[in-house]
Amino acid sequence: MGTHYWLSQSFTLLLFAVAIASAGEPKPTPENTISIKIENEIKPQTFPRPIKFFVEKVIDRSGNPQPMLVLEERGGVFLDKQPTEVVQQALQDTLQKSGLLAGDRASADYLLTLYLFHFGLGSGLGGEYYGKVDLNVVVKEVASGKSQEVTALGTSVRGAAIRKKNILKNTQANISEALEAALRNFLRGTKLRDVIAPQDAKPSMPSEKTTSSLNLTLECSSGYHIYPS
């Protein structure tokens, strides 16, 4: 009887503790939910030949058990979509506006698989937070099957805020700007350029024999007489 009563009381206390903990956890509401969108158009670099990209998937490697909760304090700040969905949509929209998005996988020259290591806020000094988006993009050439990795990091810093309205505004701006910076660094960076146009595909320097012949021609045209040795 005593053991049964003790177990029953222990279970009741456990449920009570869980209820208290759950009550303190922030929950998403229309008032604390933000939407991440890129405000400025990103113009990718110009490639040596017409190419098309296809975004296969975005994989979350952050290890965050609550990826949509970007700030826990002050009642929480939540995203309206999963970070992987936000990143994929933003990249596809950017490629489409630039004429670089393939209509389907079969018509693509390069396949993109994105690994998302961080999406949200990083803690700064004091009460400041900064936006941070950390990507690792695997670029696979369809013709050769060769894959190469391109890293892209984007950050954005805004001042600390006290009012909840300003906290939401700054958080949304921080993450949006960090995402924009990460995609810009990927699409305009030298790493992607080297993947699409590797060093061995660039025009080679004139050979020593060609250079010597050119020098002889210039000397003859200048009035000098060149006699064979």
**pLDDT tens figures, 26-51:** 999 999 999 999 999 999 999 989 99
Task: State the total domains in the chain.
Answer: 1
96 assigned to some structural domain: yes
143 assigned to some structural domain: yes
DSSP 216: H
Residue 176's pLDDT band, with cuts at 50, 70 and 90, is: very high
Residue 141 has pLDDT above 70, yes or no: yes
pLDDT of residue 125: 56
Helix, strand, coil share of the chain (percent; to 5): 40, 25, 35
- For the chain, the average pLDDT equals 82
Model-wide pTM > 0.85: no
8 assigned to some structural domain: no
Quote the CA–CA distance of 35 and 41 in Å, as a whole number.
17
**% of the chain residues with pLDDT over 70:** 73
Residue 3's pLDDT band, with cuts at 50, 70 and 90, is: low
Burial class, 204, CB count within 10 angstroms (exposed 0-12 / middle 13-18 / buried 19+)? exposed
Residue 218 has pLDDT above 90, yes or no: no
Q: Alpha-carbon Rg of the chain, whole angstroms?
A: 28
pLDDT of residue 213: 47
Residues in the chain: 229
Quote the CA–CA distance of 226 and 216 in Å, as a whole number.
8
CB 47 within 8 A of CB 189: no
215 assigned to some structural domain: yes
11 assigned to some structural domain: no
pLDDT of residue 69: 97
Residue 6's pLDDT band, with cuts at 50, 70 and 90, is: low
23 assigned to some structural domain: yes
Q: Of 12, 183, 157, 163, which Cα lies nearest the Cα of 97?
A: 183
210 assigned to some structural domain: yes
Name the residue range of residue 25's domain.
19-221
Of the two residues 133 and 159, the one the predictor is more confident about is 133
CB 152 within 8 A of CB 91: no
What is the domain-level CATH number for residue 124?
Answer: 3.40.50.10610
In this predicted model, what pLDDT tens digit does every residue of 73-83 receive, in sequence order? Answer: 879 999 999 99
7 assigned to some structural domain: no
CB 138 within 8 A of CB 116: no
Pairing of strands 129-141, 77-79: unpaired
pLDDT of residue 159: 66
Q: Of 181, 182, 175, 65, which Cα lies nearest the Cα of 120?
A: 175
pLDDT of residue 163: 84
pLDDT of residue 157: 86
pLDDT of residue 203: 46
User: What average pLDDT does the segment 121-141 reach?
Assistant: 86
